[in-house]
Amino acid sequence: MAEGQTWTTQLTKVEPNHLVVRGYALDEMMGRLTFAESIYLLLRGDLPPAPARALLDAVFVASLDHGPGAPSASTARTVASTGAPLNACVAGGVLAINKLHGGAIEECMEILGRAVTDARQRGCAASVAATDLVTAALQAKKVLSGFGHRVHTKDPRTTRLFALAAEAGVDGDYTAMARAIQEALKAAGKDLPINVDGAIAAVLCELGFPPALGNAFFMIGRVPGLAAQAYEEMTTQKPMRRIDFPAVVYDGPAERSLP
């Protein structure tokens, strides 16, 4: 860059005693926008449409935590047990969010995008495009990101997120395509239901996010879980223990209903 040349950002303006995010004063946002709405604003450049608001919270809540055995949480706890500060535990955990864990959202968004475009161009039903896509993937022995889970056969987060999306009217070609691919997999003898990554992918497609931002949603949602797991390890367990992850037992509050 030549002397005196500038470059631009469209995110945040920082002046002494004045902070502006995407045009709005940050202090005005505080108390007026929820955290989820502010994240949407920062990532997209504008306030979320009304129906999307509760849905965004649900996307982040769906990603909150999945116990100590999720690889990102295992990593955060292992790092914590060596005497690391909390931010190193969280950073370690974030490094374990990849294609096979939490990071399937981006790939699934690309799959859904290609399939919807394919159906539109051919003027065919979602089920036809989905069957072709599944046939090709099975022949190429390619895993379809967003389908199947090592623990859940019917992920409660998927069911709930799709119900909320339907209520909010955020339900269109992409959520339909996700369901069509699930059906096509079943018809091909593969019981690989839409997992939480796949459900989030479909919702983010409906909301118009680019695939390259997909994993950001999982990370943002899961960081509180990584912090909670690391903090619990630090405060309740012996340092440098050999952590036998499958041997964990839940000992928190008994199951209860929201008031």
For residue 29, the minimal CB distance to a second copy (Å) is 5
Which of residues 126 and 206 has its CB atom nearest to a second copy in the complex?
206
Provide the b/e sequence for 113-142 (b: ≥16 CB within 10 Å).
bebbebbeeeeeebbebbbbbbeebeeeee
* Burial class for 34, CB neighbours closer than 10 Å (0-12, 13-18, 19+): middle
Which of residues 97 and 178 has its CB atom nearest to a second copy in the complex?
97
For residue 105, the minimal CB distance to a second copy (Å) is 11
For residue 215, which of 36, 94, 56 has the smallest C-alpha distance?
A: 94
The residues pairing with 147 across neighbouring beta strands, listed in sequence order, are 194
Which of residues 124 and 245 has its CB atom nearest to a second copy in the complex?
245
Amino acid at 231: Y
Which of residues 57 and 118 has its CB atom nearest to a second copy in the complex?
57
For residue 192, the minimal CB distance to a second copy (Å) is 14
- The three-point CA angle 19-23-24 to 5° equals 65
For residue 216, the minimal CB distance to a second copy (Å) is 4
Which of residues 78 and 131 has its CB atom nearest to a second copy in the complex?
78
For residue 164, the minimal CB distance to a second copy (Å) is 5
